Every structure is written in C-alpha cells, then in structure tokens.
Amino acid sequence: MLRLIAQKLALGVMTLFAASVLIFAGTEVLPGDLASAILQNNATPETLAETRKELGLDRPAVVRYVEWLGNVAHGDFGHSLANKRDVVEELAPRVRNTLFLALYAAIIAVPLAVGLGLAAAIRQGSIFDRIVNVVTLMTISVPEYFLAYLLVKFTAIDNGWFPPLANVTDESSLVERLYLTFLPMLTLVLVIVAHMMRMTRASVLAIMASPYIEMAILKGVRKWRIVVKHAFPNALAPIISVIALNLAYLIVGVVVVEAVFVYPGLGQLMVDAVSKHDVPVVQACGLIFAAAFILLNMSADILAIMSNPRLRHPR
C-alpha cells in the first residue's frame, strides 16, 4: 500500500509538472504583446524595449520558465502587473472564498446525491426512480451559466428572495455569506448532484446482479438492507471516483459560476487577470486549479483502493 501511494504521489508530481509547462506555454502563445498591452498609447520603440527588458521578455522562454518554476517551488508567484501587489496576497482571500463556496456546495450535494442514488436503486423501475433520472438528466444537459441565469431570473429578479450578485466581503458574517452565496451554491449543487446520483445508482445496481446478492434476496432479506449494507460498500470505488471528480469541479470549474454572480473567488480573479493581461496572476490561478484537480483525483484513486479489499489484497 505504501509503495502504491508513493507511486501515485510521484505520478501526481509529474502530472503537475506537465501542467505547469502547458500553463506557461499557454500564456506565452496568447495573442498580442504583453509590453504593448501594459503601455497601450504610451508605447514607443524605446519604452517597449525597456518594458520587455524589465519584464524579462527579452530572454528565452525556457530560461524564464525555469526561473518561474523555481520561484513557485519556493512559494513566490511574482507580482501582479495590474497593481504591483504580491500575487500570493492577491490569491489568499480569493482562494478562501472559492473553498468556502466549494465546501458549501459539497456539504449539500454529496449526501443528497448518494441518498437519491441509493433510493433510486432500492426503488428501481418505480415512478420515483424515473422522475429522479429525468430531472438529473435535464440538469446535466443544461449549461451551468444558463441554469445560473434562470435561478437569478426566477428567485432574485421576479421574487427577490436572494440577491442576484454574491458580493461577500471579509467583514461578512457566516450567516451573511451563506445567504449571499446561496444561488451560486444551488447552481453548483444542481450541476454535480446529477453525475454523482447516477453513478451511485448505476454502481449499486451493477453489484445487485452479483451471486451473493441473489442469495440474500432468496433468504428474504429486505431490499433496503441489501442495498445499504451489502451492495453499497462494494460499490464505493466508482462512487468515490465520481465524487472526487465533482469536488474537483467545484474548485476548478467555478469560473463561469463566479463570473455570473460576480463572486470574488479564484475564478473571477482569473477572468479579471486575463482581461488585464496580468500574466503572473493567470499562471498562478491555473497552477492552483491544476494542483487541486490532480490532488483530488489522486486521493480518489487511493481511497478507491483502500475501500476495496480485493484491491488491497490482490492475491
């Protein structure tokens, strides 16, 4: 087990390294010249050359990447080109806001999805099962930004139940944060519950076809007991994987949702940084998103193995 975990960690580090190369290369091939974008109307050949030298753009990209990666390894993401502040200072409150929203949505979505999946498996073929499948399929098919605008239209504009913008601040209390972020949380929950619920149902029903489940049915064991105590523990591996993927989405995929509700999170910061050509902030946001996605997927692989005795003891 320790050797397997070490292999997963090594693979995660290699994947993060590859992601850093892609992030740096992606910012390098962006259209337009960074120095020209900063100087705008004040750009002259002399000022452009001076600015490019100041930013290090006159050096080869490989040299700049190695220097950037070395600084990141020491916790130095550089300084913002927009306001000259340390990027870490810019990221810290935004990361906290994004993690708060992700945790808020996860606390609601994970128990709800697993519960609905188990209930649908217990009542397979019933009206409840069909309704849940139709509703979750509809939420999967609708883009999250369209779903967000629908919620804003019917709950904020038409009825005034919740604010259309999630304008949280450092001074906001917990109750205020929960209220202000309810609509973005609900949008994320509606998007990810469908995936987790359908995977839970499919995994449990696949286990229900096993011989030992058929023996329990022949013995007269109640179906809910069979599903909860016998099928669900053996179906945990794929369920854990899909939960981890959706938790990663809560952190990585919130860019659109944060932009719709103008929520001061990491995704909104990245959108603002792209519009301002603030390359250090864009690179830092991209690297954090990649690290979160890789870490959660790696954790899912390890937990899936630990939850299955056949995988823990392959012999």
pLDDT digits (tens, 9 = 90+) for 17-43: 898 889 888 877 766 666 666 666 666
- Lowest mean pLDDT, pick from 108-112, 214-218, 247-251, 262-266: 214-218
Given this model, what pLDDT does residue 221 score?
76
Residue 33: predicted pLDDT: 60
Mean pLDDT of all residues belonging to the chain: 80
Can you list the pairs that 254-258 forms with residues at least 24 positions away whose Cβ atoms lie under 8 Å? 254/98, 254/101, 254/102, 254/184, 254/188, 256/144, 256/145, 256/148, 257/144, 257/145, 257/148, 257/184, 257/187, 257/188, 258/98, 258/101, 258/184
Q: What is the pTM of this model?
A: 0.79
Q: Are 101 and 57 in contact (CB under 8 A)?
A: no
pLDDT tens profile 101-122: 888 988 998 899 888 888 888 8
pLDDT for res 36: 60
Rounded Cα–Cα distance for residues 101 and 192 (Å): 14
Cα radius of gyration rounded to whole Å, the chain: 24
Reported as a single tens digit per residue, the pLDDT across 61-97 is 788 888 888 888 888 888 777 777 888 888 888 888 8
The residues that bridge with 79 in the sheet, in sequence order, are 86
| pLDDT computed for residue 274 by the predictor | 80
Amino acid identity at 297: N
What pLDDT, on a 0 to 100 scale, did the predictor assign at position 310? Answer: 60
Q: Mean pLDDT, to the nearest integer, of 159-168?
A: 83
CB of 56 within 8 A of CB of 15?
no
Count the residues in the chain.
315
- Which residue, among 11, 6, 12, 4, has the nearest Cα to 293 in the 3D structure? 12
Strands (E), the chain: none
Distances in Å between the Cα of 76 and the Cα atoms of 79, 105, 154, 277, 293 are 9, 31, 44, 19, 21
CATH node for 100-276: 1.10.3720.10
Q: What is the pLDDT of residue 307?
A: 66
